[in-house]
Structure 1
Amino acid sequence: MGTLVSGKEHKSGYESHPDYLLRVMPAGRHVRVTVDDELVAETEQALELFEADYAPVFYIPRKDVRMGLLKGNENRSWCPFKGEAHYWDFKRGEKEIPSVAWSYEDPFVEVSNIREYMAFYPDKAKIEAD
């Protein structure tokens, strides 16, 4: 069993795959996220998550996200290495784009540093890093 940040025990992918590649490190770059030409997030404190053969993902501190433009939805998915993902819609006036971002509210302790951070889908948001 794995342990979530909250202390709850849950079946973990690390049990059967202890060598699974998953690293989180400071991105060391300025990261800017826009959705529908609206600045949604900007930070110097992003984390970059490297996982198996997937493209790296920037995680933005929630404090640097304009949360008034996002609305949590009911969608959830489970990652055996990170935990339960919660999804967020972009909403500005009448414009709504579903599930532009996700977060792990109670991740496994192995990736506890992504708690209070959000990631954005590159096909729904423009993500720039320099």
Structure 2
Amino acid sequence: MGLSWQQGPLSAGAIGHFLTPEPLPERLLFAERLRRRMRVRFADTWVADSENVILLHEPGRYPVAYFPREDIDRQALVPTGRVTHHKDLGDTAWYTVHVGERTTERAAWEFTDLPGHAAELRGRVAFAWRAMDAFHEEDERILGHAADPYHRIDVRDTSRTLDVRLGDTVIARSENPVVLYESGFAPRWYVPRADIDESRLHPVEGQTFCPYKGLCDYYDIGEARRAAWTYPDAYREVERISGMVSFEADKVEVHLDGTRLLPEPGQNVISHGVDRGLDANEAKAR
């Protein structure tokens, strides 16, 4: 997802390639000014507040926000003396974050021996996402990870016919599904409830969370486990898919205009952790 995660252009599993005469390095890091006000909250205190954040995109990771020291509550950072080594960016000094009676170890870090080509990260500190209470852009909490400006979702109507089967059983047939295009993923097809035999959908316990779409519920279909999913209250940016159902093409047969859809390599979502203390009610309230 986005620039360096999942199948983005800077990820190890990129689906495209750069048209250059010489091979690019196996690892490419990309840093840019975020151009958004970003804040970090810890123990009911804003420990960082900046309009000069640098976002670092590193292969296989979500983007990480680096704050200039002058925009951080200096008393909140306590050196630990622990130093590790980043393969591309050199020595990394770790900090404990301390506010009032609250202390979290290894909650922030800074690169202290940067190579010349990465000098723009000098004097900047990043906070461990799950160690902090919350990250905000302006007054709105950002959930899951720093927002990737290269991650995009488009939802489109279509008049194509989608059929879903499990063996000889028809699970769904729709002439007006919607298709969701999301950075780094193959298209996902969502079916209106009216076009589904809902007696075949058996809700299962457990939800997952997408920072861009919200909380996701799952269904078993016969012996096919978690073969379908839905976002019952999708975020407003993708609210058109709220309550609609999508189906896993490797667990049931999904046919689009008579052609069976097959799963594409690298399409499984890779979990990268969630916010500390994030619960379902808070995710819904975003």
The residue aligned with 1:88 is: 219
Aligned-residue offset at 1:82: 0.6
Match of 2:114 in 1: none
Does 1:124 pair with 2:245? no
Cα deviation digits, residues 13-38 of structure 1 (max 9, x gap): 79722442110101220111112331
* TM-score, with length taken from structure 2: 0.39
Q: Does 1:68 align with 2:68?
A: no
Seen in structure 2, the aligned counterparts of structure 1 residues 53 and 73 have a Cα distance that, compared at 3 Å, is same
More strand by share: 1
SS at match of 2:245: strand
Aligned pair partner of 1:17 in 148, 164, 189: 148
Listed as ranges, the gaps of 5+ residues in structure 1 are: 3-8
**Partner Cα distance (1:37, 1:14) in 2:** 42
- The 1:10/1:32 distance shift into structure 2, 3 A limit, reads farther
SS of the counterpart of 1:111? helix
TM-superposition CA deviations, 1:72-123 (whole Å, max 9, x none): 10121111111111000113xxxx3211100001111000000120000000
Q: Distance in 2 between matches of 1:120 and 1:18?
A: 28
Cα drift, residue 10 of structure 1: 6.1
For 1:49, the equivalent position in structure 2 comes to: 180
**Aligned partner (choices 31, 36, 51) of residue 167 of structure 2:** 36
Q: Which amino acid aligns with 1:75?
A: G
CA contact (8 A) 2:233 2:243 kept: no
Shift in alpha-carbon separation, 1:78–1:66, aligned structure 2, 3 A: same
Larger Rg: 2
Which amino acid in the other structure matches residue 127 of structure 1? V
Structure 2 partner of 1:107: 234
Against the structure 1 CA distance between its residues 65 and 14, is the aligned structure 2 distance closer, same or farther, given a 3 Å change threshold? farther
What residue number does 1:6 align with? none
> Structure 2: which 5+ residue stretches go unaligned?
1-135, 258-286
Runs of 4+ in 1 over 4 A off after TM superposition: 12-15
SS of the counterpart of 2:207? Answer: strand
SS at match of 2:249: coil
What are the superposed Cα offsets for residues 20-73 of structure 1, whole Å, 9 maximum, x if unpaired?
A: 211010122011111233100001110000000211011000111100011110
CA distance in 2, matches of 1:50, 1:76: 22
Q: What's the TM-score, normalizing by structure 1?
A: 0.83
Taking only aligned residues, the RMSD between alpha carbons, in angstroms, comes to 2.1
How many residues in Structure 1 have an aligned counterpart in Structure 2?
120
Q: Which has the higher contact order (CA 8 A, sep 6+)?
A: 1
Sequence identity of aligned pairs in percent?
Answer: 31
**SS across alignment from 1:113:** helix
